[in-house]
Amino acid sequence: MEEKGKENGVAAMAACYQGFDPAAYLQYNYTPPRADFERKDSIVPWKLACLHRAFTEGDVGGELLVDIGSGPTLYQVLSGCEVFNQVLLTDFLEVNRQELRRWLRDEEECNLDWTPYLQHVCKLEGRRPSAWTEKAAKLRQVITDILPIDVHRPQPLAPDALPSAGADCLVSCFCLESVSPDLAAFTRALGHIGRLLRTGGHLLLIGALGESYYFGGPGVKIPVVPLNEAQVCASLKESGFTLIRLEVYTLNQDMRVGVDDVTGVFFAKARKD
Ligand SMILES: C[S@@+](CC[C@H](N)C(=O)[O-])C[C@H]1O[C@@H](n2cnc3c(N)ncnc32)[C@H](O)[C@@H]1O
Ligand SMILES: O=[N+]([O-])c1ccc2c(c1)CN[C@@H](CO)C2
> Annotated binding residues for S-adenosyl-L-methionine, as ranges?
25, 30, 69-70, 75, 91, 96, 150-151
How far, in Å, CA of 181 to CA of 7, rounded? 10
Q: 10 Å Cβ neighbour count for 155?
A: 11
Is residue 65 helix, strand or coil? strand
Q: Is the pLDDT of residue 1 over 80?
A: no
How many domains does the chain contain in total?
1
At residue 83, the pLDDT reads 98
Q: Is the pLDDT of residue 169 over 90?
A: yes
Residue 3 binned pLDDT confidence (cut-offs 50, 70, 90):
confident
Atom of ligand 2 nearest to the CA of 34: 1
For residue 24, give its domain range: 2-272
Residue 162 binned pLDDT confidence (cut-offs 50, 70, 90):
very high
* Ligand 2 in reach of 34 Cβ (< 6 A): yes
> Annotated binding residues, as ranges?
25, 30, 69-70, 75, 91, 96, 150-151
Residue 129 binned pLDDT confidence (cut-offs 50, 70, 90):
confident
Residue 235's domain is classified under what CATH number?
Answer: 3.40.50.150
Query: What's the pLDDT tens digit per position in 199-245?
Result: 999 999 999 999 999 999 999 999 999 999 999 999 999 999 999 99
Nearest bound ligand to the CA of residue 72: 1
At residue 135, the pLDDT reads 98
Is 15 exposed, middle or buried (CB count within 10 Å of its CB: 0-12, 13-18, 19+)?
exposed
Residue 6 binned pLDDT confidence (cut-offs 50, 70, 90):
confident
Span of 18-32, 105-119, 136-150, 199-213 with lowest mean pLDDT: 105-119
| 66 C-alpha to ligand 2 centroid (Å) | 20
At residue 109, the pLDDT reads 86
Residue with CA at minimum distance from ligand 1 atom 16: 179
CA of 79: how far to CAs of 21, 236, 238, 265, in Å?
Answer: 26, 23, 28, 19
At residue 5, the pLDDT reads 85
Query: What's the pLDDT tens digit per position in 61-106?
Result: 999 999 999 999 999 999 999 999 999 999 999 999 999 999 999 9
Nearest bound ligand to the CA of residue 152: 1
Query: What's the pLDDT tens digit per position in 240-266?
Result: 999 999 999 999 999 999 999 999 999
Q: Say if pTM beats, i.e. exceeds, 0.90.
A: yes
Please give the mean pLDDT across all residues of the chain: 97
| 174 C-alpha to ligand 1 centroid (Å) | 7
